[in-house]
Amino acid sequence: MAVPARKVSKTSKRMRRSHDSISSPTTTKCSNCGNFIKPHRACSKCGYYKGKKMIEIKEEKVDE
């Protein structure tokens, strides 16, 4: 079986693991309604993308 020739130092181990950290997802503001959305996607609230209407959003009725 393969066995490491030398002990991996704390520095080498931590440098290798430096890319494993969790980062927050990137979000941008919708130019039409100001809702936070993922970049390069149509807004789920208003249906606009780059200032143009891309999808129709159905509005739900609120019973009072």
49 belongs to a structural domain: yes
pLDDT in tens, 15-62: 988 888 888 889 999 989 999 999 999 999 999 998 899 888 887 777
Which residue segment(s) compose the domain that 39 sits in? 26-57
64 belongs to a structural domain: no
Number of folded domains that form the chain? 1
Is this structure's pTM higher than 0.75? no
Q: In whole angstroms, what is the distance from residue 42 CA to residue 37 CA? A: 8
4 belongs to a structural domain: no
pLDDT number for residue 17: 86
6 belongs to a structural domain: no
Residue that the structure tokens 């979000």 belong to: 27
The string of DSSP letters for 6-48 reads SPPPHHHHHHHGGGGS--PPP-EE-TTT--EE-TTS--TTT-E
17 belongs to a structural domain: no
30 belongs to a structural domain: yes
Residue that the structure tokens 């780059």 belong to: 50
Mean pLDDT of the chain: 88
